[in-house]
Structure 1
């Protein structure tokens, strides 16, 4: 009888512990049939001609991850997040050198805010979440992700050409290793601060980054902005900022954002980039959402003619179930200056267009 009682107590205790902690597996698989003109399968400019491809992550980036939370009592909790990108058209990891290329951090939630340590998005990316006109859709082709958020600046003659901050990749500082991020919410205000260690022996500032972000969000409108400075291994600075707003008017939602960054890329060499964007979305009925957005990118670089591009998007999304969405996407790009570049000495088309029919499932 004594053993039976002890076993019962153990089960009750275990149940209580399990109720206070949770580990969840989650993900998104997004695959579409895409046809383009003047763009390659990876959306790079090409000479005139059509391309057809099966593409991953046109609506939302295909990914998988693990998130966990364990209550420590009161308002304290331990947190963890591991997330990796997937090329769902091939089954390969988005980054061959990293299993969790998107996120890998552990944190502590307290009554005074949350602290997280590990690989995380930069504060520019965080600030864009609520104000990007596309809602951060089509991440590989969205100028706010690539230019404002610094996910991919490696195109044309104005590429940064080096690594800024501890991202692990040249022309990409969207996610940073070795990052300590603090966030606190007080009423409608949310403040963030982050610092990323470059871990270069003898030089604490080399390959590092630091920044702050502030957002104010009400039921019908929000303002969000951030500023961050990155350093290359040689100590060259990259300064960036972004600020945007979003507001509802009846069923309509409007968003606009302005971002700018400036980098020293060598002795007497500098690259400046500016992104202006605006968009509107509206639900139609209970399950259809229409979103349009326009982006204007202008770039300057020492020794080169100014360039840039204008790009428009249209997304039509049909919710089939709480986890499954069918969508159609259309985009059109006009390249400015010599941004389109050359392919084997042949000028690329100065216009690019794409059309995607896709299906996205979340789990």
Structure 2
């Protein structure tokens, strides 16, 4: 009820005076039918086959409000509110937040953009142009989950605590209380961010900070970022990512490397590494083929090394400027004991899935 009332008020406000406020409603609804073997409905390792209606296999289902109001001398006031949607059930992606993805206000100036509120971390920003999948299938994409730190909880190597002010254990992809400054000069784009931990008496506990730099021209891009997160008991998590993209005769090639290390207790740590590469090409007008391979390796104090290798294939057909039909296939090979158990039964050491879906943007 609380979410419904807030949503109603915002929609009324956005429709009542669009000329004055410059607020627009936007979103994506992505839903598909998925069949998998060795993976459950949430893509966790499993011992059997499963089938599901899934949301966000191509792009994450979401809705949001975007606002811009021109001020004097080239300045503008900005706002962004965005929440995830589970299109298969109609539920919000996070039951405790209406706008779990973005909630910030800021200023665009001739000297850069300054924004404050809940925002993506700089690792996520750096990955946008160089992730081989273009950040498709975010809940299953290793660059989003591990390099971008959106889900570090699988298997025995979970961090088990919150680093930075994300609001969640093992998910630091978006951070509360964040001030981010972005400046673009020609092909260069630089970002800096600081997130307040808001722990009384300790300015570093629960906080995060970092920098990002990208160089983007017509045919190639290099993009990277480095961040440090602190837990509320002041344990560090250090992370970096660096990647490149290249266009050659209709082909687009992308590759990225990322690493993070978290101190999880006295004399204990977890280290994760992700290498990825992929290629995409338009096969015909409105028909895009994308392939990608990810290699994940993890080390944790007192535990055997684990990880996985995962391959994707996407075929997307644009039906209109706003609507895309797609077919997706993936294959995962687990390493060490990453596959785990279901009860007392060992999960399959290999998992595969296929999805047929439809995505509409508004």
CA distance in 2, matches of 1:111, 1:75: 6
1:22 maps to what in 2? 22
Alignment of 1:32-181 (within 5 A): 32-47=32-47, 49-181=48-180
1:329 paired with 2:328, answer: yes
1:246 maps to what in 2? 245
CA distance in 2, matches of 1:52, 1:155: 21
CA distance in 1, matches of 2:157, 2:358: 35
1:10 maps to what in 2? none
Structure 1, residues 207-259: CA drift from partner, whole Å, max 9, x if none? 00000000000000000000000000000000000000001001100000000
SS of 2:304's equivalent in the other structure is: coil
Say if 2:259 and 2:274, in contact at 8 Å, map to a contact too: yes
CA distance in 1, matches of 2:171, 2:344: 27
Alpha-carbon shift at residue 74 of structure 1 (Å):
2.2
1:282 paired with 2:281, answer: yes
Q: CA separation of 1:271/1:18 partners in 2, compared to 1, >3 Å: closer, same or farther?
A: closer
Structure 1, residues 139-177: CA drift from partner, whole Å, max 9, x if none? 000000000000000011111110000000000000000
Structure 1, residues 63-92: CA drift from partner, whole Å, max 9, x if none? 000000000022100000000000000000
1:355 maps to what in 2? 354
CA distance in 2, matches of 1:39, 1:19: 49
Alpha-carbon shift at residue 18 of structure 1 (Å):
6.7
Q: CA separation of 1:203/1:286 partners in 2, compared to 1, >3 Å: closer, same or farther?
A: same
1:273 paired with 2:233, answer: no
1:307 paired with 2:302, answer: no
Structure 1 spans left out of the alignment, 5+ residues: 1-16
1:4 maps to what in 2? none
Say if 2:18 and 2:24, in contact at 8 Å, map to a contact too: no
1:6 maps to what in 2? none
CA distance in 1, matches of 2:321, 2:294: 30
Question: What's the C-alpha RMSD, in Å, of the aligned pairs?
Answer: 0.9
TM-score by length of 1: 0.94
Alpha-carbon shift at residue 21 of structure 1 (Å):
4.8
Alpha-carbon shift at residue 19 of structure 1 (Å):
5.5
SS of 2:146's equivalent in the other structure is: helix
Say if 1:20 and 1:71, in contact at 8 Å, map to a contact too: no
CA distance in 2, matches of 1:269, 1:211: 24
CA distance in 1, matches of 2:202, 2:73: 41
Structure 2 spans left out of the alignment, 5+ residues: 1-16
Q: CA separation of 1:178/1:291 partners in 2, compared to 1, >3 Å: closer, same or farther?
A: same
Alpha-carbon shift at residue 345 of structure 1 (Å):
1.9
Alpha-carbon shift at residue 20 of structure 1 (Å):
7.0
Say if 1:21 and 1:71, in contact at 8 Å, map to a contact too: no
CA distance in 2, matches of 1:20, 1:225: 38
TM-score by length of 2: 0.95
Structure 1, residues 286-334: CA drift from partner, whole Å, max 9, x if none? 1100000000000000000000000000000000000000000000000
SS of 1:125's equivalent in the other structure is: helix
